[in-house]
Structure 1
Amino acid sequence: MTSKRRVLIVAYDDAQILDIACPSGALDIANRYGAQPQYSVELGTLGRRAARSSAGITVGAGQGLETVAGRLDTLIVVGGIGCEDAAADERLLGQVRRLAGLSRRVASVCTGAYVLAAAGLLDHRRVTTHWGWGDRLADRHPAVAVDANPLYIRDGNVYTSAGVTSALDLTLALIEDDHGPTLARAVARELVTHLHRRADQAQISTFLAAPPPDDRLVRDLTGYMAAHISEDLTPAALARRAGVSTRHLTRLFRAYLDTTPARAVRVVRTEAAAHLVQSSGLSLAAIARRCGFGSAQTLRQAFWDHYGMTGDTMRRMPDMPPARVTRQRKTPGS
């Protein structure tokens, strides 16, 4: 290893430019905040060709993958709509396999997992990817244990992350692994981002998983609820945020979600807590606090009402249990 942490980001045509920018930008800030040893970030492509991103912006490569030699600290493969073509390119897969062998750790952003899986680097590992691509990845690579719920997953020295901006969460986790939480917090503050979202936080929540409600106010509030589960989400607080009366808010939720605001919040919090029960070692009391429940007992009752089982039973299950009742979207008048 050199005195710097050498990071190689692998790109290709129709890659998502944020998948390149999030890791490289965060590592650059880590350097400016005193990371020691510092990160040396390089962008590599086959033949050192410029990579045309899906946004139409072309990014020049600093390295041809074929010529990269010596030890790497971290190999990062980005995602994007070009991932399937990239995963079918045997020249690219051969270089990714070779470079993984030179690397201390390997990571993918979003659908970059398709490339790692096609290269055989994810077999018998638990991995994640963008929630909209998880089923296809699992069908194509049955030896890969795909869980499209968390923001990122570490399995040994292999890290995989969910869609697009979760690259930032992954990179902050890498910085924390390398340099500790103080530097990771400083980078997060500079980026004006969450400090930082936990790996086990679900990519999407209950009311976001189904087709979004037609009403913009309801749609915005369900997104807000999912992102602020530990905050004040009483009907009065939600109504104030939306600028409507609590009575009107309740009418809208009944019309578009077939439920009340309070019940919707309870479902969002319960399912977020269930993900934490399955993917973390936190106590039920700690999970209750993180997810906005008043006590562990309140959370236990919520689990029983929603899933018909206790948290202990859920923790022993290999997969997320189904809810007792799945509510369907309504169109007013239906």
Structure 2
Amino acid sequence: MSFQTNTPQIQTQTSLSPASSKRHVGIFVFDGVQLLDVTGPAEVFHAAGYALNLYSPDGNDVTSSAGVRLAVHGAAVDAPVLDTLILAGSDTLPGSRSLLTALQPALLTLAKDARRIASICTGAFLLAEAGYLDGLKATTHWRFAPQLRLQYPRVAVQEDSIFIGSGRIFTSAGVTAGIDLALALVEEDHGAAAARDVARELVVFMRREGGQSQFASPGETQRTGDDGLRKILDAVRANPAAGHSVTDLAHRAGLSTRQLARKFQAEWGSPPAKVVAAVRVEAAREMLEAGHSVTSAAMRSGLGSDETLRRLFGATYGVAPGAYQKRFRSTGNWTT
């Protein structure tokens, strides 16, 4: 992406007094970085009184994926020893081995003596590439979680987590989850009262209800490359209230019930009935977003009762169906 002099520019603190007692937070940025991965945590740390600077691989300013130019303090090699290193993400990171490799020297320079390291969104791919996540639980944006697991099998990917910490390594889910993680780090340093003050100032919750699976697009949680299994699930999605017994599914697939069970177990680690229930919960979620009542969504999705919907919905998304509907059905009525 080319640099434009007329793009909006965000300036950060460009000097840090050697005598300063503030904790120094460095955010690692590069061309194509996700803007909110940078600005969300930055606002939290700034409000909490940390010294804050941006560092790029070569010290040059960078342009975010939104076209906003970010003025950096310097190159990675010029950074002092950091208290906290924040690795912002980018949609281009997961699919670009060359970019991941090119950013490693700067990352390792910044990370070597940092007290703690935290990735935001797909910044987890940078940590995984460097080996920092080997043997650890980690999270990333829900859309890229399957790819992180496939690309780095030694990482225990937790798709539904908002953030996870292990020792000095922290990872967060997608984009705005960086704010949640930053607040948790402030709390770790200064206590809950300080983090609460920052949350109030920024008008955000200290802790959001539920996991990030509630933000995932319908159909994302049961993806498959197996054409036969995909046809089975498409049939369930098309008419979730119909009967979808294991016998019915096996007949559609031209398999025995035992063969079908083995395929489901191999693909999703769950029996057919559990996967069908998951598809029905997704169908109920779409119905809630469309304005159906909990009772209507339960019946039309094939879950049958309000109680079953509430139980499975809560287990899947970590939030009650009614609360979810209030959050995701609409931005609200602007009339007064």
State the TM-score bracket (shorter-chain normalisation): 0.5 to 0.7
TM-superposed deviation, 1:252: 5.0
Query: Cα distance 1:206–1:190, how it changes in 2: closer, same or farther (>3 A)?
Result: closer
Q: State whether structure 2 residue 87 is matched by structure 1 residue 77.
A: yes
Q: Which one-letter code corresponds to 1:162 in the other structure?
A: A
Give 1:95's aligned residue: 106
RMSD across aligned C-alpha pairs, in angstroms? 3.3
Q: Which one-letter code corresponds to 1:202 in the other structure?
A: G
Give 1:30's aligned residue: 48
Query: Cα distance 1:99–1:218, how it changes in 2: closer, same or farther (>3 A)?
Result: closer
TM-superposed deviation, 1:265: 1.9
SS in 2 for 1:142: coil
- Choose from 1, 10, 18 the match for 2:36: 18
Question: What is the alpha-carbon distance in structure 2 between the residues aligned to residue 43 and residue 257 of structure 1?
Answer: 51
Query: Cα distance 1:216–1:109, how it changes in 2: closer, same or farther (>3 A)?
Result: same
- TM-score using structure 1 length: 0.64
TM-superposed deviation, 1:208: 6.3
Q: State whether structure 2 residue 27 is matched by structure 1 residue 4.
A: no
Q: State whether structure 2 residue 277 is matched by structure 1 residue 267.
A: no
Contact residue 110 and residue 163 of structure 1 kept, 8 A: yes
Give 1:202's aligned residue: 211
Cα deviation 1:126-167 (Å, max 9, x = unaligned) = 111111111211221122222222111101100000011110
- What count of residue pairs does the alignment treat as equivalent? 244
Give 2:245's aligned residue: none
Query: Cα distance 1:54–1:207, how it changes in 2: closer, same or farther (>3 A)?
Result: closer
SS in 2 for 1:18: helix
- Choose from 189, 202, 221 the match for 1:191: 202
TM-superposed deviation, 1:56: 1.9
Contact residue 86 and residue 92 of structure 1 kept, 8 A: no
Contact residue 15 and residue 83 of structure 1 kept, 8 A: no
Structure (1 or 2) with the larger CA radius of gyration: 2
Over the matched positions of the two proteins, sequence identity in percent amounts to 32
Query: Cα distance 1:188–1:145, how it changes in 2: closer, same or farther (>3 A)?
Result: same
Question: What is the alpha-carbon distance in structure 2 between the residues aligned to residue 14 and residue 75 of structure 1?
Answer: 19
Query: Cα distance 1:132–1:99, how it changes in 2: closer, same or farther (>3 A)?
Result: same
TM-superposed deviation, 1:11: 1.0
TM-superposed deviation, 1:114: 0.5
Bigger mean CA deviation after superposition, 6-15 or 49-58: 49-58
TM-superposed deviation, 1:90: 3.5
Query: Cα distance 1:111–1:57, how it changes in 2: closer, same or farther (>3 A)?
Result: same
Map 1:313-324 onto structure 2 (within 5 A): none
Map 1:93-172 onto structure 2 (within 5 A): 93-172=104-183
Query: Cα distance 1:28–1:86, how it changes in 2: closer, same or farther (>3 A)?
Result: farther
Cα deviation 1:86-124 (Å, max 9, x = unaligned) = 763544201211211120000000100011111222222
Q: State whether structure 2 residue 61 is matched by structure 1 residue 50.
A: yes
- Choose from 295, 309, 321 the match for 1:250: 295
Query: Cα distance 1:272–1:81, how it changes in 2: closer, same or farther (>3 A)?
Result: closer
Query: Cα distance 1:126–1:252, how it changes in 2: closer, same or farther (>3 A)?
Result: closer
Give 1:176's aligned residue: 187
- Choose from 52, 56, 66 the match for 2:77: 66
Bigger mean CA deviation after superposition, 42-51 or 3-12: 42-51
Question: What is the alpha-carbon distance in structure 2 between the residues aligned to residue 221 and residue 120 of structure 1?
Answer: 41
Cα deviation 1:42-68 (Å, max 9, x = unaligned) = 111121222221122221212211322
Contact residue 13 and residue 82 of structure 1 kept, 8 A: no
Give 1:219's aligned residue: 286
TM-superposed deviation, 1:211: 6.0
Contact residue 108 and residue 159 of structure 1 kept, 8 A: yes
SS in 2 for 1:204: helix
Question: What is the alpha-carbon distance in structure 2 between the residues aligned to residue 257 and residue 79 of structure 1?
Answer: 39
SS in 1 for 2:26: strand
Query: Cα distance 1:133–1:208, how it changes in 2: closer, same or farther (>3 A)?
Result: closer
Question: What is the alpha-carbon distance in structure 1 between the residues aligned to residue 27 and residue 215 of structure 2?
Answer: 34
Query: Cα distance 1:95–1:185, how it changes in 2: closer, same or farther (>3 A)?
Result: same
TM-superposed deviation, 1:171: 0.4
Unaligned runs of 5+ in 1: 32-38, 224-241, 274-289, 293-334
Contact residue 283 and residue 301 of structure 2 kept, 8 A: no
Q: Which one-letter code corresponds to 1:119 in the other structure?
A: A
TM-superposed deviation, 1:253: 4.7
